[in-house]
Chain A
Amino acid sequence: MKKTNLISLANVTKDYNLGDLTVRVLKGITLKIKNGEFVAIQGRSGSGKSTLMNIIGLLDTPTAGSYYLEETDVSSLKEDELSYLRNKKIGFVFQSFNLLPRATILENVVLPGIYAGENPKERDEKAGNILEKIGLLKHISKRPNQLSGGEQQRVAIARALMNNPDIILADEPTGNLDTKSGQEVINLLKTLHKQGKTIVLITHEKDIAKQADRIIKLTDGRIN
């Protein structure tokens, strides 16, 4: 596979305004992530990991600096264009799963397909295939609260895979899980990496981070 730069950040800063006090959370981040890499961003609580992930995931915008996703300068994009890119290119996995409680597992997984405008039959089939690979097909018509935490997080990963994105962004995916089911989630991410996905894994745990190809260490808003 040709290793092009998928994500390129240069001198990215992020400030938060708290009343008349401005806090700089990211203090000039420059990093490149290549297509097909498995990268862990590791740092202590409050070091700015989630802030960085939100910027990479196009959920938030940098205060200064540049961000190129492939060849695209994302600062030039409008809100709906960002939505489009999130939908097609990025799969999110959150610490708190973020599944819709009233929807079934299938309905949760197809969500990105709905916003991609896929037809119902195709997207249900696709979601079924993904769930089968992950070993969750038998839970397809259950609600999230009928599943264990580890299963819920794997459903969230299935959802992230729905539109076959290039990048999986996982922010503390093991944070709410015990060691065993946490490891299952990491193993799943490893499998996806072997299949060619670019994985960005955010964690504060060294043991988890070690399993990635590359560790980017974040300390107080800086990469060292």
Chain B
Amino acid sequence: MDFNELFKLSYRAINANRLRSFLTMLGIVIGVFAIILLVSIGTGLQTFITNQIAGLGSNLIFVIPGRIGGARTPGGVVSNKLVVADAKTLQLKLKSLANVAPVVSQITTVKYKNRENKGTTIFGTTSNYPKIVQNATIERGSFFSKSQEQSGARSAVIGQTVLNNLFYSQNPIGKRFFIGNNIYTVLGVINKRGAVFGIDQDNVVIIPLSAAQRQFGLTHVNTIFISVNSSSSVSRVKEQTKKILLGHLTEDDFTIQTAESTLSIVSNITNILSIALGGIAAISLLVGGIGVANIMLVSVTERTREIGLRKALGAKRSDILKQFLLEAIMLSLTGGIIGIILGLFGSIVLARFLVSQVTLWSVFIAFGFSVVVGIVFGMAPAIRASKLSPIEALRYE
């Protein structure tokens, strides 16, 4: 029996029960759609985070409070013992090897004239911050100088959201605005960084560490950035940093990370996330496959007499097997293709709001999966049909 003939038969059978076929396909559509979309989210997230970390520079070490991971404390330990003074100590002791910039933070409202911007993150740091953190560049104006920092000058570098909401399209440089109750002068504007999971990375104001400490009374640091002068000494500096901090802190109070170590942790996490998301989606595809098997069993039962007739007229087992298998494959493949199209479309739309990146392999896998689902779940009903005895099938009412 030629393929054309088989194709016509399957098409006709699917077309004869349009609603039923559609509902069966829907199961596959949803499964494939979910695979494409969730894998896109996982991949997009991974790319985004990787780029962020890579943007920090490979010579960067950062110290954060508390403990992350570890065999003894898998959930991590919360601690707030890492303070600004530790950063100062580190800068003194690592003087010739590295630059140190501590960062403290506080969320508050900023105001200019009658406009205000809520939920702005105020970062207090030192003047060498732009040199250390490579993905922070000054787009307009300048960063505050060492002397401005040391004098505790109320000068500020603002992010794009703050720029837009307070100053519109006016030139903000030299403008005076409120952070809380204190007046600051705009020195510069930082480049656009975008939003991650709805958190606006541009709703920030960077001010001198001393000013931040004075205004908000902050002593605990968010992060201590250490930029090592030569990449060959990164691990030595890491060791020294650890030794220095252990002088008065315990191992639970801080975690030292490099861009590289963070990258490997993050890619581990995002890989697991991608697989988990894909796995959840695969379950829905499995359910879709069971739907295909179910409807094929119904189809075989309904057409028992037809099968008997075809056998009487000379159909071989393999002819009947192919007929029903192709029908199952067509059902799930059509569902798969619709799912892929919707998934691609969904990923593209989603990329506007969230991170999402379509990967070719997820399209191939989804395509392959839907064929495999058709074969696996169509096989049992098709075998059942092919094994019917012609006389019993003809007699079936």
Q: Which chain A residues have a beta carbon within 8 Å of chain B's beta carbons?
A: 54, 57, 59-60, 79-80, 83-84, 86-88, 92, 94, 98, 100, 102-103, 111-112, 114-117, 120, 159, 163
Given contacts A114-B5, A115-B1, A120-B5, could you give 10 more A-B pairs where the C-beta distance is less than 8 Å?
A60-B391, A80-B318, A83-B317, A86-B311, A92-B312, A92-B313, A100-B309, A112-B313, A112-B314, A117-B1
Contact partner of A84 among B314, B318, B391, CB < 8 A?
B314
Alpha-carbon distance between A86 and B390 when the two chains are bound, in angstroms:
11
The distance from the CB of A63 to the nearest CB of chain B, in whole angstroms, is: 14
Instruction: Name B303's closest neighbour in chain A (CB-CB).
Output: A100
Distance to closest chain B CB from A205 (angstroms)? 22
Residues of chain B with a CB closer than 8 A to A103's CB: 12
Q: Enumerate the 4 nearest inter-chain pairs by beta-carbon distance, A residue then B residue, closest first.
A: A87-B314, A115-B314, A59-B391, A60-B391
The 21 listed contacts between A and B (C-beta, < 8 Å) are: A79-B316, A83-B311, A83-B315, A83-B316, A84-B316, A88-B314, A92-B313, A94-B394, A100-B306, A102-B12, A102-B16, A112-B314, A115-B315, A115-B316, A115-B319, A117-B1, A117-B2, A120-B2, A120-B4, A120-B5, A159-B313
Kindly identify which residue among A60, A79, A117, A159 contacts B317, using a CB–CB cutoff of 8 Å. A79
In chain B, positions 296-315 with a C-beta closer than 8 Å to chain A are 305-306, 309-315
**What are the residues of chain A within 8 A of B305 when measuring CB–CB?**
98
B313 contacts A80, C-beta separation under 8 Å? no
Are A116 and B314 in touch, CB under 8 angstroms?
yes
Q: In the bound complex, how far is the Cα of B306 from the Cα of A22, in angstroms?
A: 29
In whole angstroms, what is the CA distance A212 to B87 when docked? 113
Given the known A-B contacts A114-B1, A114-B5, A115-B1, are A98 and B314 also in contact in the complex, defined by CB atoms under 8 Å?
no
**Chain A nearest CB: distance from B246 CB in Å?**
80
CA distance A117 to B2 in the complex (A): 7
B390: which of A59, A88, A100 is its contact (CB, 8 Å)? A59
Smallest Cβ distance from B320 to chain A, in angstroms? Answer: 10
Chain A residues with CB under 8 Å of B319's CB are 115
Nearest-neighbour CB distance to chain A for B15, whole angstroms, equals 9
What is the number of residues of chain B that contact chain A, defined by CB distance less than 8 Å? 22
CB proximity of A175 to chain B, nearest CB, Å: 15
A residues less than 8 Å from B4 (CB atoms): 120
Contact of B314 among A60, A83, A102 (CB under 8 A): A83
Contact with A along B124-149 (1 / 0, CB 8 A): 00000000000000000000000000
CA distance A71 to B12 in the complex (A): 41
Interface positions of B (Cβ within 8 A of A): 1-2, 4-5, 12, 16, 305-306, 309-319, 390-391, 394
Chain B residues with CB under 8 A of A159: 313
> In the bound complex, do residue A87 and residue B306 qualify as a contact, i.e. CB atoms below 8 Å apart?
no
Picked from A54, A79, A80, A112, the residue with its CB within 8 Å of the CB of B391 is A54
Q: B312 contacts A86, CB within 8 Å?
A: yes
The answer for the CA separation of A192 and B393 in the assembled complex, in Å, is 29
With A54-B391, A98-B394 known to touch, is A59 a contact of B312 (CB < 8 Å)?
yes
In chain B, what residue has the closest Cβ to A60? B391
- Neighbouring B residues of A86 by C-beta, 8 Å: 311-314
**A120 contacts which chain B residues (CB < 8 A)?**
2, 4-5
**Shortest Cβ distance from B170 into chain A, in angstroms?**
73
Q: Which B residues are CB-close (under 8 A) to A54?
A: 391
Across the interface, which residues of B come within 8 angstroms of A94, CB to CB?
394
Q: Complex formed: what's the CA distance from A86 to B312 in Å?
A: 7
In the complex, chain A residues whose CB is within 8 Å of the CB of B16? 102
Given A54-B391, A102-B16: A111 in contact with B313 (beta carbons within 8 A): yes
* A100, B308: Cα distance in complex, Å: 11
In the complex, which residues of chain A have a beta carbon less than 8 angstroms from the beta carbon of B5?
114, 120
**Which residues of B sit under 8 angstroms from A114, Cβ to Cβ?**
1-2, 5
Least CB distance from B286 to A in Å reads: 32
A98 and chain B: residue at smallest CB distance: B309
User: CB-nearest residue of chain A relative to B12?
Assistant: A102
| Shortest distance between the CB of A200 and any CB in chain B (Å) | 15
Q: How far is the CA of A117 from the CA of B316 in the complex (A)?
A: 11
Using known A-B contacts A59-B394, A60-B391, determine if residue A115 contacts B310 with beta carbons closer than 8 Å. Answer: yes
Of A60, A84, A111, A114, which is in contact with the most chain B CB atoms at under 10 Å from its CB? A114
Chain A nearest Cβ from B338, distance in angstroms: 25
B312 touches which of A57, A79, A88, A163 (Cβ 8 Å) = A57
Give B305's nearest chain A residue, CB to CB. A98
State how many angstroms separate the Cβ of B141 from the closest Cβ of chain A: 77
Closest to B16 in A: A102
- Chain A, Cβ-Cβ closest to B390: A59
Rounded to whole angstroms, the CA-CA distance of A80 and B316 in the bound complex is 5
